Structure formats: structure tokens, C-alpha cells
Amino acid sequence: MIPQAFFTKAVLTPVADTTPITISVNRPRGTIYWGGAGLNGSYISDQLTALQEAGIKHVYRGTRTYTMAVDSLRSGFSIRYRGSPIDEDWHIGGMDDNPASQFNMIGYSYGSLLAAQTAHFYAHNGHIVDHLILIGSPIDIKFLQALEKQKNIKKIIVKNLKEHGDPIFAGITQPQFVRSYPTLFLQMVRSERSGEGMGHFYYASANATGASRRRDLAKFICDHGLR
């Protein structure tokens, strides 16, 4: 299940009365990780394990997929741009009560856009997002700049994968993104055939090399303060 905002109790005492009043305070907690288009593949569960091993105890697997093909189209033509928080319901459902001290969002590829849109939604509605981690993200530069100006998002970390041959990067223009499609397709095919994550799919292979890369990524994330 994915964490939803849970309710804690706050006790207030009016000045003119000594009787405490109990109200509900909405406090989202925990860390959510979204993977690439389709949100499938064993690498996602392994990344969750790596994050837990690195010290992020309350970490959950994000959902919201419409098949790999539709997710890919959404990545290229809609959710990489900033939308109104009321255009789509970005609530996170199924929260388990937990004592996590932070509210963090981590996304890889398509998942980075889900993370960005969800962070935008919660921050706009007055919630504190402690960390937003965008990995191999095709987010539009204006959307990224808007997130950086949002005071309720305390820290944004962008991890591009250019050094691994990924043609996608945060701030990519629409023409650049379209031109990247042939390279992305070849990287996907070669990654599937060889079992080695190539380029944009650097963290998505199911073998031991991929597992090692995911643990390096988990350490990188924890080194930026996620708990």
C-alpha cells in the first residue's frame, strides 16, 4: 500500500476556557518511490529494499500507471509540465500509520514526474515535503523552477544520468525530448537483450550489477538527508 496523509491529534486550550479541544491535523509521513513507465520490473522492489538497507525505514512503492505505452506518452506530452493541482487528483491512498519523521518523494524516469506532480499537489495544499528526488527526469524547466520556488518543498535533488549516456535530463525541451526517442528505444532493446542497464535504464537491470548500482543510488539519496 502507498502512504496517505494520516491524522494525529493536537490539543488546543482556548484562552477563555481550560477545557482542551482535540482537533485532527493532517500530517503526511514516509518515503515513496516510483519507478519507470509501467511501474513494473523487479528492479523496483529491489530499489525499495536498497533504500531500507541504507536507512530509510518507512518506504513505500508508488503506483499510478496506465500501461507502459500510455505512461511514456504522458511523460512526453503532459505530466512533465506543471499542471494545476486541481486538474488531477494526486492524493496518495492507503496510508499506514508510521512514526517516520519526514515526507519524501523519489522518482525515476516516468516516476520522477509522478513524484514532482505529487509534491506540487501536497506543497500547494500546505503540506511540507522534506525531499523531492528526481532521477533521469524529463521534467520541463519551468515546472522544475516552480518547484524550486515552492517554500513547502524543503529540498530538491536532481540526478541526471548523462554520464551513462542518457539523452534525457531535467529541463529538456520538447524538441530535444522527441529527438531522444530513437536513442531511448535502442537503449531499452539493448538493455533487455544484454541484461545490463544502459543509458536511461542504468538503474533498471535485474542482475547483480543493477543491484549494486541501486545500492549506490540508495546511499547517494541517504547522503542527502533522507531518513
Rounded to whole angstroms, how far apart are CA atoms 172 and 176? Answer: 6
Does some domain include residue 205? yes
Does some domain include residue 20? yes
Using only C-alpha atoms, what is the Rg of the chain?
19
Does some domain include residue 99? yes
Residues of the chain with pLDDT under 50: 1-16, 22-25
Does some domain include residue 165? yes
- Confirm if 106 and 34 have CB atoms less than 8 A apart: yes
Neighbours of 102 (CB within 10 A): 18
Does some domain include residue 44? yes
Cell of 74: 504522458
pLDDT score, position 28 = 74
pLDDT score, position 9 = 40
- Phi and psi at 158, nearest 5°, equal -105, 125
| pTM of the shown model | 0.87
Q: Which domain, by its residues, includes 158?
A: 6-223
The label of the residue with cell 532521477 reads 135
pLDDT score, position 217 = 98
Environment class of residue 152 by beta-carbon count within 10 Å: exposed (0-12), middle (13-18) or buried (19+)?
middle
Across the strands, what pairs with 24?
Answer: 9
Does some domain include residue 1? no
pLDDT score, position 71 = 96
**Residues constituting the chain:** 227
